[in-house]
Amino acid sequence: MSENFGSPGQIQPLSIGNVVSAAVRLYRSHLKTYLKLALIAHLWIIVPIYGWAKYAAICGLISRLAFGELINQPESVQTARSHINPRLWSFLSVSFQVGISMLLIYLGLAIAGGVVGGLLGVVLGGILGVSAGIIGTIMGVIVTVVLVILGLTWFYSRWVVAELPLAVEENINSAESVVRSWELTKASVLRIQGVVLISFFVTLPLVFVLNYIPNLFLLKLERGSTIYGIVYIISLISSLIGGVFVMPFWQALKAVLYFDLRSRREGLGLQLREPPSPDFR
């Protein structure tokens, strides 16, 4: 029996803890369905371009299914897919827009942080001597790391639900979906940053065990050797398993955030956001 996730008593008000716990409940309640879709999505990744579009679309599909549960209007996978599949390339476009934007932001933050850190080291070194300069350099590195992490999470928080409008709403394209995410999140950035960071730490043990530890063994093996090839294949399989388990949780999390943002700003009397009438001013 599925839980009544849309019940106000269960998920409102949505604090950081409420958002994460609601996503966990959604994930657990539909584990078999979500994991099956996630496995298919990850297998598509090996196919360039089209496979990447399929992966992005299935991510949107999982979020749409989760959102349907939240508003007490659940859909079958087939019904939801009939809405998602015609927008296949739009989902890839959303991923591309957000991915390129995040990359450029990362480069900008890294350069800015490097300049600040370098200046800090030079100033302290010139005033207080070499030892202080070393300390200043270390502090500069710390400042750079903190600046990059906070900056990336801030911008990611603005685009965290970028594919949700495309997955849920009618008469919307990829560019509008990204802009819609930016608009919905503008008053809740700090809270969303908290959700993102907490969720990262929630999934970190699983990611560490399945994605990072197998790669550590490769560092001690000789490239090109038989054992290296075997461990490399095991590492790929382990990473695939990790991705399959983690991805549906993040898509359910995005659905909960999107539900909460729309509830606070618009109310959710309808399943889909209606486009404005031609006479709207």
Q: What is the mean pLDDT of the chain?
A: 85
Q: Is the peptide bond before 13 cis (omega within 30 degrees of 0)?
A: yes
Give pLDDT, residue 268.
56
Q: What is the arithmetic mean of pLDDT over 20-34?
A: 95
Give pLDDT, residue 272.
42
The answer to whether the CB of 75 falls within 8 A of the CB of 86 is no
User: 246 in helix, strand or coil?
Assistant: helix
Q: Can you say whether residue 198 is alpha, beta or left, with left for phi > 0 and alpha for psi between -120 and 50 degrees? A: alpha
Please tell me the distance from the alpha carbon of residue 238 to that of residue 207, in angstroms, as a whole number: 10
Looking at the predicted structure, is the pLDDT value of residue 78 above 90? Answer: yes
* % residues pLDDT > 70 (the chain): 85
Give pLDDT, residue 128.
61
Looking at the predicted structure, is the pLDDT value of residue 153 above 50? Answer: yes
Q: Can you say whether residue 171 is alpha, beta or left, with left for phi > 0 and alpha for psi between -120 and 50 degrees? A: left
Give pLDDT, residue 246.
96
In this structure, the number of other CB atoms found within 10 A of the CB of residue 203 comes to 17
Give pLDDT, residue 254.
97
Q: What is the arithmetic mean of pLDDT over 12-29?
A: 86
Looking at the predicted structure, is the pLDDT value of residue 157 above 90? Answer: yes
What Å distances lie between residue 168 and 87, 160, 171, 173, CA to CA?
A: 11, 15, 10, 12
User: 201 in helix, strand or coil?
Assistant: helix
Give pLDDT, residue 224.
75
Structure tokens at 21: 């716990």
**CA proximity to 256, closest of 188, 204, 201, 208:** 188
Banded pLDDT at 114 (limits 50, 70, 90):
confident
Tell if the pTM clears 0.75, that is, is over it: yes
Q: Which helix (H) or strand (E) holds 267?
A: none
Burial class (CB in 10 A: 0-12, 13-18, 19+), 26: buried
Banded pLDDT at 132 (limits 50, 70, 90):
low
Residues 225-271 have pLDDT tens digits of: 888 888 888 888 988 999 999 999 999 999 999 999 998 777 654 44
Task: List helix spans (H) across the chain.
Answer: 8-11, 16-29, 31-44, 50-70, 77-84, 88-128, 130-159, 164-168, 174-185, 189-207, 213-218, 226-265
Please tell me the distance from the alpha carbon of residue 78 to that of residue 39, in angstroms, as a whole number: 17
Looking at the predicted structure, is the pLDDT value of residue 97 above 50? Answer: yes
Choice among 20-29, 48-57, 79-88, 202-211 with the minimum mean pLDDT:
202-211
Q: What is the arithmetic mean of pLDDT over 165-189?
A: 94
Residues 195-214 have pLDDT tens digits of: 999 999 999 998 888 878 87
